[in-house]
């Protein structure tokens, strides 16, 4: 099997002036893609702006023999980011939604601004860029989208309620885009990275930090975006040269009443609680139809009195 290349493909990476985005942009650039290096160049809390971050990565890609252009728009103006791809390269094939900021506070101290800014960059920004690219992907019958979530979203993390909510929102966004895009060969997957960057330099222990190179995650993201990769609607966690798939699982559950004519009392719930919450036979459901199907089966068994 040959090398996986991106010749002729145009790849937009948001927040590509540093950290993970920079590693993605450099890898795509080294594999033949034309890269739009988007970065607002602000501080880690969403303050300020500068063109130097994106420019430095464009220079690095060009020095290595690749093709790239800088874009300094905020992802909140997603249509402008995609326009940069169209104006410079005439097409767009891959969109990596990676730009991010943090405004960590314990839940009780989160201001409206802390909430709104984090949601604007992560969730609204990913919505805006993706909505601008989607009709182009549809028309050409090809597109690859990455959303960037976080273990803080999947599991929660002290001091990151605003960020956790936005990051879990991206999982929902990706799940629906994956369904809507599938028939047009548009795949949307979620990456859950853990990497050394300015967002994590004061969070991760120093010995772990040294091992968490963004370059070790970039190949996972690149593979997900290759035309040969069939993965769609998945959550892929990656760090330190490791990758795995995450899924939401559901317990087998329990009927809370014995006859279709019965109601459900609070005591019925208490008495069945152990079975409701037992994860011993937990399973992953692939779709909302599967969830509805399972509900119908439960109702059928109630009706037949089994």
Binding site for ligand NAD (CB under 6 A): 14-15, 17-21, 38-42, 44, 46, 53, 74-76, 98-101, 121, 125, 148, 150, 193-195, 197-200
* Nearer to ligand NAD (CB atom), residue 136 or residue 218: 218
Q: Shortest Cβ distance from residue 288 to ligand NAD (Å)? A: 27
Which of 24, 155, 163, 223 is catalytic? The answer is 163
Q: Shortest Cβ distance from residue 237 to ligand NAD (Å)? A: 10
Q: Shortest Cβ distance from residue 244 to ligand NAD (Å)? A: 15
Distance CA 136, CA 93 (A): 8
* Nearer to ligand NAD (CB atom), residue 83 or residue 138: 83
SS3 category, 22: helix
Q: Shortest Cβ distance from residue 262 to ligand NAD (Å)? A: 46
248 exposure class (CB count in 10 Å sphere: 0-12, 13-18, 19+): exposed
Q: Shortest Cβ distance from residue 73 to ligand NAD (Å)? A: 7
Q: Shortest Cβ distance from residue 148 to ligand NAD (Å)? A: 4
- Bridge partners for 34 per DSSP: 10, 67
* Nearer to ligand NAD (CB atom), residue 19 or residue 143: 19
Query: The tokens of 252 are what?
Result: 């087998």
Distance CA 134, CA 144 (A): 10
| SS3 labels along 178-189 | HHHHHHHCEEEE
Distance CA 15, CA 212 (A): 18
Active site residue 142: no
Distance CA 104, CA 23 (A): 25
| Residue among 19, 56, 38, 75 at smallest CA distance from 217 | 19
What proportions of the chain, in percent to the nearest 5, are helix, strand and coil?
45, 15, 35
Query: The tokens of 202 are what?
Result: 């004061």
Tell me the residue nearest to ligand NAD as measured from the CB: 19
* Nearer to ligand NAD (CB atom), residue 47 or residue 286: 47
Answer whether 35's CB lies under 8 Å from 56's CB: no
Query: The tokens of 158 are what?
Result: 């002290």
Answer whether 29's CB lies under 8 Å from 17's CB: no
Distance CA 191, CA 189 (A): 7
| Residue among 25, 42, 36, 31 at smallest CA distance from 7 | 31
* Nearer to ligand NAD (CB atom), residue 117 or residue 136: 117
* Nearer to ligand NAD (CB atom), residue 14 or residue 175: 14
SS3 category, 243: strand
Residues that are catalytic: 163
């Amino acid at each position: 099997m040959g090398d996986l290349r991106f010749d002729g493909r145009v790849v937009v990476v948001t927040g590509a002036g540093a950290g993970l985005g920079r590693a993605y942009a450099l890898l795509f650039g080294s594999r033949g893609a034309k890269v739009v290096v988007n970065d607002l160049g602000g501080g880690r809390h969403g303050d300020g702006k500068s063109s130097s971050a994106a420019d430095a990565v464009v220079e690095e890609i060009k020095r290595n023999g690749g093709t790239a252009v800088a874009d300094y728009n905020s992802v909140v103006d997603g249509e402008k980011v995609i326009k940069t791809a169209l104006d410079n390269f005439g097409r767009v094939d891959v969109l990596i939604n990676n730009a991010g900021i943090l405004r960590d506070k314990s839940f009780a101290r989160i201001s409206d601004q802390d909430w709104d800014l984090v949601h604007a960059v992560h969730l609204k920004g990913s919505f805006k860029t993706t909505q601008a690219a989607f009709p182009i992907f549809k028309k050409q019958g090809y597109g690859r989208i990455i959303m960037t979530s976080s273990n803080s979203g999947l599991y929660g993390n002290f001091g990151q309620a605003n960020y956790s909510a936005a990051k879990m929102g991206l999982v929902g966004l990706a799940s629906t885009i994956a369904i809507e895009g599938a028939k047009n060969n548009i795949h949307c997957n979620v990456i859950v990275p853990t990497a050394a960057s300015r967002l994590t330099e004061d969070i991760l222990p120093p010995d772990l930090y040294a091992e968490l190179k963004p370059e070790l995650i970039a190949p996972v993201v690149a593979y997900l975006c290759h035309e040969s990769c069939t993965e769609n609607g998945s959550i892929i966690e990656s760090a330190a040269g490791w990758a795995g798939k995450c899924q939401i699982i559901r317990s087998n559950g329990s009927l809370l009443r014995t006859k279709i004519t019965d109601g459900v009392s609070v005591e019925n719930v208490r008495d069945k609680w152990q079975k409701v919450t037992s994860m011993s036979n937990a399973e992953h459901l692939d779709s909302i139809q599967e969830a509805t199907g399972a509900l119908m089966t439960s109702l059928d068994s109630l009706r037949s009195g089994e």
